[in-house]
Chains A and B, each alone.
Chain A
């Protein structure tokens, strides 16, 4: 009797799909909880800065700066990566994830020197984010100018 044996690549695909499905039951709620908690913390900071008399725009900017500082410190201590293992996109998508993507290679590539190690690897993920963000804003600004001329 010959049993149907899946071909190697087919088997790979089956394993991948099975593991994906079961994983998302956990990963998506965890991302929601961890990401939500980071945003709620940001909201708390925003209220503090507003109470301290900052304008709404500056309060929002200082929330970003504060969360970036906190994320940089936690990345340096090696704590942020542990939270990220649980939080997934919940730790990636908030501005703290952007900060982690800057600080983590900055620290890791220090062995290659402060200039070409830290100084350049700092931008390994921030670079594309800033490049495409700025390019998109440039295009939008041009369209906005054309419409309102």
Chain B
């Protein structure tokens, strides 16, 4: 059942992205940026946490989940540290994902040969 929930909610979030590609002039880069910012806003208003509780990875794997994670991180940091928390909370929450993408990106660039197009 959890798999089905993750599949359906995650799939719907992606289907919205496809509609944006098909019917607007948004480029993939703009869609990724929009999804992360939308995730911060939804997370900030407390609207995304219920989706995560319902769908698990179906809500955390799409980039809106990354945005909600940033919001959660900054909220935690501000609660613990006060105003200076706005300078550490977001990046702290994003650390694992950003580090993984950069490190694996460098490894792949070193190990693999670029494909000719």
Mark A residues whose CB is within 8 Å of B: 20, 23-24, 27-40, 42-47, 60-65, 67-69, 72-73, 75-78, 88-90, 92-99, 101-103, 106-108, 110-111, 114, 118-119, 122, 125-126, 128-130, 132-134, 136-138, 140-145, 148
A–B complex contacts, Cβ < 8 Å, 16 sampled: A24-B19, A27-B18, A32-B11, A32-B14, A39-B9, A43-B58, A88-B18, A89-B17, A89-B31, A90-B11, A90-B18, A99-B104, A107-B114, A118-B105, A128-B29, A132-B37
Residue B47 is within 8 A (CB to CB) of chain A in the complex = no
Shortest CB–CB separation between residue A82 and chain B, in angstroms? 11
Shortest CB–CB separation between residue B109 and chain A, in angstroms? 4
Q: How many B residues face the partner with a CB closer than 8 A?
A: 81
| Besides the known contacts A33-B11, A36-B6, A140-B44, 19 further A-B residue pairs in the complex with CB atoms under 8 A apart | A20-B22, A28-B22, A31-B14, A32-B14, A39-B9, A39-B57, A42-B57, A43-B57, A46-B57, A69-B100, A89-B18, A92-B28, A94-B63, A95-B97, A119-B106, A125-B29, A134-B94, A136-B70, A137-B93
